[in-house]
Amino acid sequence: MFTLTKRQFVKLAGLSIANRVVPGYLRAEPARDASSSNKVIIVTFGGGVRYAETFAPDGLHNIPRLMELRPGGQFFKSCVNAGVLSHFNSTASILTGNWQRVDDFGFQPPASPTLFEYYRKGAGAGPTDAWAIATNKSFSTMGWGAGSDFGQPYGANVILPKQLLLEATQDIVKKRTDQGLASRENVLRQLENILNEGYEGVGWTVFKAGRQLDKHIRETLIHALTEYINGPEAPTSGDELTFFIAREVMREFSPRLMLVNFWDMDVAHWGSYSLYLQAITKTDRLTGMLWDEVQSNPHYKDKTTVLVLPELGRDGDVNAANGFLNHRSGDPSCRNMWMLALGAGVPKGETDRPVHHVDVAATAAALLGVKSGEMAGRPMRELLL
């Protein structure tokens, strides 16, 4: 019978990912040299997390790295999500500076231009200078909005590492024609579960991210991914794979603007509080590792602002015994979030002044030195001193 260990699976999946890593509109245009310019990385605690399990006194033990980093940055005690409490709309609101009300599962792009488009068009930035790397596999349309003056030519490269591995798994098994049908179907079921810890479900229908690829970028990431998955740190979850791809993009292409979406916390929908807490701690660790890369990478050190925030919260326990399961009630536990800003030019301290998710794009545009068009959000004055 054909069986694979997790390491063998990830090795094969990485090798078969060759034609899926970068979206097709990316061409062989070299990334521009922006080593002397400000850079911005937005990190979302995707899937939803409550104050109670993070910066509330009883939750601090779940986020040791953020607690370690907090004194060196600006902490916003109140960062409000006043929009639709779904994953796609919440993150799209962060990226557009306008509250979004589009399809929850990524079948529509954001209704207004994204920060990526404002940046690339305003700064004349090349196609390797803006990236969205997301564990949430419904984010394939997150790279650009529906605005006619912007759109795909100015969009970000969207990488969905976890979805790519799941698709690669199916290809691997289908090509094992030397095995019987029943055996191959059994292996397919086994492999599909390896990186499917979250609540997304293998059966979701989403747009495919892979198209005709730029040869140089494809080969660069494939080589790095193959070495990584054969090494001692082979990924065991979607978020770990997302971190690796983000780090590799930083090392190889040094973009000025990135979104990194971690999402394993949405396992909370399964009803396991312990798995939810483990995912928070994992996201905290990976966020810390991303900050370590900023500090050690000469293209980013002392010239990068990192903005870390949850895309949304989760329901409170007032009206439900296990409020952490969902995030649709609209209560304060869902809407009242936090944000931690770190890095270049960020003053140390904290503020009680409420800011909003839509303020993130306006702030990032100001940090990048580009005009942001019509946004409901406003730049956060604490970060623009």
Q: Which residues contact 201 (CB under 8 A, 6 or more apart)?
A: none
State yes or no: pLDDT of 186 exceeds 80. no
State yes or no: pLDDT of 33 exceeds 60. no
Give the Cα separation of 278 and 282 in Å (integer): 6
The crossing angle, in degrees rounded to 10, of helices 6-16 and 181-194 is 90
pLDDT value of position 185 = 61
- Whether 227 is covered by a domain: the verdict is no
Alpha-carbon distances, residue 80 vs 85, 164, 336 (angstroms): 11, 32, 5
Residues in the chain: 385
- Whether 205 is covered by a domain: the verdict is no
- Whether 151 is covered by a domain: the verdict is yes
- Whether 191 is covered by a domain: the verdict is no
pLDDT digits over 115-149, tens only?
999 999 999 999 899 999 998 888 989 999 987 78
Q: What is the pTM of this model?
A: 0.84
- Whether 143 is covered by a domain: the verdict is yes
- Whether 6 is covered by a domain: the verdict is no
pLDDT value of position 146 = 87
What domain range includes position 154?
A: 38-163+237-383
- As a whole-number percent, the residues of the chain with pLDDT over 90 amount to 58
Number of structural domains in the chain = 1
129-133, 171-175, 251-255, 316-320: which has the minimum mean pLDDT? 171-175
Task: Read off the CATH number of the domain in which 337 is found.
Answer: 3.40.720.10
State yes or no: pLDDT of 171 exceeds 60. no
- Whether 132 is covered by a domain: the verdict is yes
- Whether 14 is covered by a domain: the verdict is no
pLDDT digits over 205-220, tens only?
444 443 334 556 555 6
pLDDT digits over 316-373, tens only?
987 667 889 999 899 999 999 999 999 999 999 999 999 999 999 999 999 999 998 8
Torsion-angle region of 6 (φ positive above 0: left; ψ -120 to 50: alpha; else: beta): alpha
Give the Cα separation of 288 and 7 in Å (integer): 25
